[in-house]
A and B are shown apart, each in its own frame.
Chain A
Amino acid sequence: MSSEPLLRVENLKTQFFTESGTVRAVDGISFDVHEGEIVGLVGESGAGKSVASMSLLRLVDDPGEIVGGEISYRGETIFGLEEGPDGELREREEMLSESEMRERIRGREIAVIFQDPMETLNPVFTVGGQLREFIELNRDLPSDEAKAQAIDMLREVGIPDPKERYEEYPHQFSGGMRQRVLIAMALACEPNLIIADEPTTALDVTVEGQILDLVDDLQDRYDTSFIWVTHDMGVVAEICDRVNVMYLGEIVEQAPVDELFYETNHPYTNALLDSMPRPDRTVEELDPIEGVMPEAINPPSGCRFHPRCPDAREVCTRVHPEPLEVDRADGYPHRAACVKHDVFDVGYDESVPLEAGDEAETGVGETGTEANVDSDSPLEEDQASTDGGESER
């Protein structure tokens, strides 16, 4: 563990200003990435993990905006606000300008690998040409040197016969090969940090295995740090050093990977692990998390997970927990945002447990767990219909 983190994120807030209200997609998350580390950002769809990772490069599109917090990379301020003379918030002076971001940070210092390689590569240009152009622009190399570099990179990421394939178009590559091209592109400028946004989700398991192997191998050689965004706990267990679990725009648990799986401290992480079918053993009965994740536009009061939490008590509806250190492992803190831990000291033990179904005010008289699954749906659906039906799971 090195003393100064490569990237530090503090209290980052990104919001989307939509017609139906403000969506707090990322709501005050803090984490850091040290050199040579793979840090996981894990959560279900809608948890805000992609928005969080794009905020790090200031790549949030309208109507989204980073509204608060601080992002610093190697002592430079990617984002930071200060209070102006009239009390209004304004961007700090040392904050990197848009052109500095473009010319120095994006691609050169921090690169991105996206989930869908077909959409990232332009179908009308050759794979090699796109890679060459990227290297040419970012490293100021003449065209022929950039081409040699590009071919080298393709070989590096395990693309057979790179000279031939340099001339081919993206559609002539398989999904796994395209993902390798993107990895080559990300690595081309030897960045210190790569943000990988669900890079293996669209791939078959055997191909996913190949890519994870490749990343491991390349990480050993280049000592690149990664922020690995995924929903797959299996992948997390496989490659991450430390993990941040996100729920509804917040980090609910933060721990080294072994700790997270063996000393789980947040009920959401626990529930997530319990609801997963396992490849390595037969689970007779799955224990799903009740209900669905609420909309970020109108999050529940107190702890955002309390309506679905098996351990929820009355106090959880009132007190909003920030992640606090509950344990320490390998020199890293293990933080959890759950008031059941002693450090919070808000009277969890004395509080009355919430009855399962208290929150569900449907009153249809359904019985059994299955009926409860969607019991908070009427409310949820009304919201969904107001924003045009974009209520993904």
Chain B
Amino acid sequence: MSTPDDPIGFGESDSSHGETLLEIEGLTKYFAADSGLFAGLNFEPDQFPPVSVGIDQVEAVDDVSFEIKKGETLGLVGESGCGKSTLGRTILRLLDPTDGTIRFKGEDLAELSGEQLRQKRSEIQMIFQDPQSSLDPRMKVGRIIEEPMQAHDMFDDEGREARAKELLEKVGLDPRHYNRYPHAFSGGQRQRINLARALSVDPDFVVCDEPVSALDVSIQAQVMNTMEELQDEFGLTYLFIAHDLSVIRHISDRVAVMYLGHIVELAAKEELFENPQHPYTKALLESIPVPDPRESGARGVLEGEVPSPQDPPSGCRFRTRCPRLIAPEEYDVSDEEWAHTRAFMRAVKRRTFEATSAAELRRKFFDGELPRGEAGEIVDEAIDLLATDRDRDGEGDGTVTEDDWNDAAELLLESFAERSICARKRPAYDLESEYGSETHFAACHLHR
């Protein structure tokens, strides 16, 4: 396939297989929630003083650390809004990190700027999700692929054209398409053009942000196969960002799971899928519809919604939805009692039920039996606030007001959720792997 004077593969890469290529540590990216002249001023009429200064921050990526070895594919998976794309872009320095280091081949990208950074960009490239909007419709395919080379002063005109054609062939397109415009290509082919463009400057590291999620399954498989072949041929290292766990399972060597700006679990692929240790990873895996009608798994296992990254939960960010939230140590409750209490607390917070009589509430959430000791007293107090038949010191007619709901929710959250170790400390544990020998990182206090 390649000719003797193959221009591809010039500039032998200076780090060998298995070495750490990229190491990020404590990487953090916050965005200002508002921008503009008065963004820093907040007006709250029911407080004194009514005006406060300070910009609300969206904690898109918060203190993330991991490393990627030469030649491997690290899959980064998470739901929309978890910060996976922001992380990818921050690594490429398309966004300025708020804090932390990005060590690429021993050099900290976070420190670089201007011309130095621009030079570095020839070694790290990106492939975007939308094959429609990431190609300039008014540029011919040839120009599109040559542009990065031009920016980095590689070759002369002829050399660039030769390389562009060679690359077209490598990514599975016809080199004769050099003079066509992007609109003449289908989605899968456009993604191949994106690949060719990214590879034109001979990068070592490519960040792929959902490169196949806009494609049909059959085309997805074609593009993923090509990506794997190119990885072998050019010794590429991928950071593969996707929300689709099947795609991640196919293409990754190691997988990192992200939730609300934190990495919650990171392990070798087989280990992560067969032996997940974080409740969020487990929930994710259980939710995927399996293409096998004889396997009907549990689904819809997660309640509620992702909290706002503007005001993320303390400690473990998953704790507000976690089915395994740990009971605060100060209460002596059985597992069952704690499960009831937890369910009741969340139901009150989300108001998923209507206020009824105290007896009915007890029956519905606690099978009629409240937890023992102090925990039970707190629950009883909350039930009292929400019961329609409580004794209201002669006032009111038994209606439960907005304030009652808020008071009950606050009481329960402060007495239980906020006192759990999950709320007080950010978890981070290295575990032994069951599959393979690599460390298995899980951010969950169940492993304390």
Contact = CB atoms under 8 A, between A and B. Distances in A.
B320 to A, nearest CB: 14
Contacts of A288: 218-222, 225
B217 A272 contact: yes
Contacts of B224: 277, 286
Interface in A19-58: 44-45
A209 to B, nearest CB: 4
B162 interface: no
A362 interface: yes
B161 interface: no
A233 B186 CA distance: 23
B8 to A, nearest CB: 16
Interface stretch (A129-137, A140-148, A334-342, A376-384): A376-384
A358 interface: no
Interface stretch (B115-123, B288-296, B362-370): B288-296
B231 to A, nearest CB: 13
B174 A374 contact: yes
A329 B287 CA distance: 29
A262 B292 CA distance: 9
A175 B177 CA distance: 40
A389 B301 CA distance: 42
Nearest to B189: A374
Given A210-B302, A288-B218, A258 B294 contact: yes
Q: Which of A158, A273, A279, A371 is packed against the most chain B CB atoms within 10 Å?
A: A279
Contacts of B99: none
A380 B177 CA distance: 13
A232 B284 CA distance: 17
Nearest to B78: A204
Contact of A377 (B80, B189, B302): B189
A231 interface: yes
Interface stretch (B144-152, B242-250, B389-397): B242-250
B250 A213 contact: no
A235 interface: yes
Contacts of B294: 258, 261-262
Interface residues of B, number: 65
B174 A280 contact: no
B402 to A, nearest CB: 9
B188 interface: yes
A353 interface: no
Interface in A198-217: 204-214
A289 B218 contact: yes
Interface in B364-392: none
A75 interface: no
B300 interface: yes
A389 B187 CA distance: 11
A292 B184 CA distance: 14
Contacts of B305: 174, 176-177
B183 interface: yes
A262 B294 CA distance: 10
A18 to B, nearest CB: 17
Interface residues of A, number: 72
Contacts, number: 202
A218 B176 CA distance: 55
Contacts of A364: 174-176
Contacts of A385: 183-184
Nearest to A203: B80
A278 B250 CA distance: 7
A279 B172 contact: no
Contacts of B216: 44-45, 231, 393
B207 interface: no
Contact of A381 (B185, B273, B295): B185
Contacts of A3: none
Contacts of A189: none
Given A287-B221, A378-B174, A279 B186 contact: no
A347 interface: no
A238 B289 contact: yes
B25 interface: no
A175 B80 CA distance: 10
Contacts of A272: 217-218
Contacts of B290: 234, 237-238, 278-280
Q: Which of A205, A235, A373 is packed against the most chain B CB atoms within 10 Å?
A: A205
A271 B291 contact: no
A282 B250 contact: yes
Given A204-B80, A275-B218, A286-B221, A374 B173 contact: yes
Contacts of B1: 367-368
A391 interface: yes
Given A209-B302, A377-B174, A389-B183, A366 B288 contact: no
A283 interface: yes
Nearest to A158: B352
Nearest to B290: A280
A234 B351 CA distance: 32
Contact of B351 (A45, A161, A362): A161
B246 to A, nearest CB: 4
A373 B292 contact: no
Given A160-B351, A209-B301, A234-B291, A286 B225 contact: yes
Contacts of B351: 160-161, 164
Given A209-B300, A378-B174, A392 B352 contact: no
Nearest to B280: A206
A257 B246 contact: no
A98 interface: no
Contact of B284 (A205, A282, A382, A393): A205
Contacts of B292: 237, 261, 280
B229 to A, nearest CB: 6
Given A205-B287, A367-B1, 15 more contacts: A206-B287, A212-B299, A214-B300, A238-B299, A276-B217, A278-B249, A282-B249, A286-B224, A287-B221, A288-B218, A292-B219, A362-B174, A385-B183, A393-B186, A393-B188
Q: Which 5 A-B pairs have the closest CB atoms?
A: A389-B183, A234-B289, A213-B300, A288-B221, A209-B299
16 contacts: A176-B305, A204-B79, A205-B79, A207-B79, A209-B302, A212-B289, A214-B300, A233-B217, A235-B289, A237-B290, A238-B290, A273-B291, A277-B249, A292-B219, A374-B174, A377-B186
